[in-house]
Structure 1
Amino acid sequence: MKLSFGVVAGAGALVALIVAYRRQRVDEDGALRDATRLHTERFTTAVSQLGDNAPAVQLGGVHALAGLADDAPTRALRQTCIDVLCAYLRLPHTPDPGTGDPADRDEHHRYLALRTVRHTVLRRIGDHYRLPAGTHGSWQGCNLDLSGITIDATIDFTGATFNEGLVNFHRATFSSGAVGFAGATFYGSTMHFDRATFSGSNVGFDRATFSGSDVNFASALGDAPAGLVPGAGESLPPGLVLPDAWMP
């Protein structure tokens, strides 16, 4: 009889645990649904700002999307915010008309304002990759599709960590400013610089360390072995500094 009561009591405790677990999952699912709904509403507003015609409003959209990426309830939603910011950088933009003709001055000022928006996106990306792994606001492990963009600003990736994910500079043009990967750590990630153009920007990997990462400079350096270092008789493009360990 005592054994029967013990079995019943044990079964009752097990049922209570199952019920409590299911209730917790329902509460968690409900909280996630609420967080996702709120995130979607804020995301729609931020994207509308980024698509506005006024550079000042676009700038607000950049900061709003960066903040949303930090606060995203899931990694997929964080990736979507980052994708939109990268897509903004890939949009074609009108070159600077200069100030030679007084009629072009308004367009020149608009160009400068929109350039500020683009530079802000680039700066925010660098800021988020310099944060320690697991830190709130870190974008490490997410994909960055910067293919085909023109980089004419300074981006500081000094000491940044690239773990997992794809960072794509395919066909990017490094035209001015400086992009610093000094002391950065690459492990488990993939980086593409293939067919990139280095024409006035300083891009440095001094003291960078690589472990289990695929870094591709093919075509950017000519027919380099494994696409990493220049072949015999070849030299690096001006402004590109690779780690000593890569050099023959």
Structure 2
Amino acid sequence: MLIALWRWIDDRALNDVDKRTLAQIEAVKVASGVIVGGGGLFALYLAARRQRTQELELQVRQIELAQRDRVQVHAEKVAEDTRQDAVERRVTELYTKAADQLGSDKAPVRLAGLYALERLGQGNPGHRQTVTNVVCAYLRMPYTPPDEQADLNEPTERQQREELQVRTTAQRILADHLRDEPLADRAQPPSSPNTFWAGIDLDLTGAHLLDFALAEARLVSINLNDATLAGETVFSGTTCELAFMQHTNFKGLADFRGTEFTNSAWFTSSVFADDVRFDGDQFYRPAKFGRHVSFRASAFHRKACFEGAAFSGSADFREVNWLGGAASVELKSTVIENPETTSPEADAAASAWPDGWHLAIASNHVTLERT
């Protein structure tokens, strides 16, 4: 560019040396400015290219990192699936082995099977209902109690006594894992794991149970329809939504002090051969019945104490047989929270209270009084 300007000045043939020199100086300045400006533009161009290159490199890096993350996530998922499959296979193996042990003809082997199932449920919360179902199924198997007067040396009698030990162990396992807190009189190490199994249903339909103790339990439902409960039966302090105890034979004392049935309880056509308690004392408050309770067509051979019990919904005492006489039932100080509530059964009947008892207004609630 400078050469072109120089030639242009020569072409103009400036005779004045001073003007020619001045023009040449100005030409140099113009050329220099153009060169400097061009250099600046070129520098800007280089900076833009460098910025673009860095952005592209960053995008490529981000894509590589994203791909690496996806690969890592996939690898972790595969590893977790593999681990879970291994756990499930191990659980299945333990479950199958424990079930086989329960079918053994030797009592010690059956006991080992029960303890194996207990460990399986404790270590695998997702299998606790299944473990419970297996233990309940074992208790539902046909069973003949031993004869206390029989000769212990007889093989059959010895086997029956051994089986009794197995069954009482199964009952204890259920009770131990349905308590939200350990019993106060049973010492627990400070670091002991939580043994409570939440959200459990018990199906003991037709089971033969001896001294069945389910005190302080927390469960969803229990089914004891057609069951036989020999000895003392204890549900004190237990809470459950639904209880089915229809055609159930309670051969000994039945203790329901402090029991709360949050939904409904069905004792229809059951037999209570000994005292039954729904009252309270210094240890337990009286029982509380929720939506509905039915004792229809049940038989009470001795005393039935409902003193202080609370009835939130309807109650059905129709056709009850009080074999101990009308005085054997005690309903004083009860709390009837909704006297107008009807039964959830198809007939939607109003509450039917035992003969000789009627609704009465107490100081701040409705109760029952003798006629």
Cα–Cα, structure 1 residues 234 and 40, in superposed 2: closer, same or farther, change >3 Å? closer
User: Residue 215 of structure 2 aligns with which residue?
Assistant: 157
Residue 230 (structure 1) shift = 4.6
User: Residue 53 of structure 1 aligns with which residue?
Assistant: 105
Structure 1 unpaired stretches of 5+: none
In the comparison of the two structures, how many residue pairs are matched? 232
Correspondence 1:1-248 to 2 at 5 A = 1=52, 7-72=59-124, 75=126, 77-99=127-149, 102=151, 105-131=154-180, 136-158=194-216, 160-162=217-219, 164=220, 166-182=221-237, 184-186=238-240, 189-204=241-256, 206-211=257-262, 213-220=263-270, 228=293, 230=295, 238=302, 244-246=309-311
CA RMSD of aligned residues (A): 3.4
Residue 98 (structure 1) shift = 4.6
Structure 2 Cα separation of the partners of residues 15 and 195 of structure 1? 66
Query: TM-score, normalization: structure 1?
Result: 0.76
- Specify the structure having the higher radius of gyration (Cα): 2
> What amino acid maps onto 1:142 in structure 2?
I
Decide whether the 8 Å contact of 1:218 with 1:228 is kept in 2: no
User: Aligned with 1:56: secondary structure?
Assistant: helix
Structure 1 Cα separation of the partners of residues 146 and 179 of structure 2? 31
Residue 39 (structure 1) shift = 1.8
Decide whether the 8 Å contact of 1:98 with 1:105 is kept in 2: no
Higher relative contact order structure (alpha carbons within 8 Å, sequence separation ≥ 6): 1
Structure 2 unpaired stretches of 5+: 1-51, 182-192, 272-289, 312-333, 335-367
Residue 99 (structure 1) shift = 3.3
> What amino acid maps onto 1:152 in structure 2?
L
> What amino acid maps onto 1:245 in structure 2?
A
Residue 87 (structure 1) shift = 1.1
More helix by share: 1
Cα–Cα, structure 1 residues 105 and 172, in superposed 2: closer, same or farther, change >3 Å? same
1:42-67 CA-to-partner distances (Å, cap 9, x unmatched) read 22222222111111221121111111
Decide whether the 8 Å contact of 1:203 with 1:241 is kept in 2: no
User: Residue 37 of structure 2 aligns with which residue?
Assistant: none
Residue 15 (structure 1) shift = 3.6
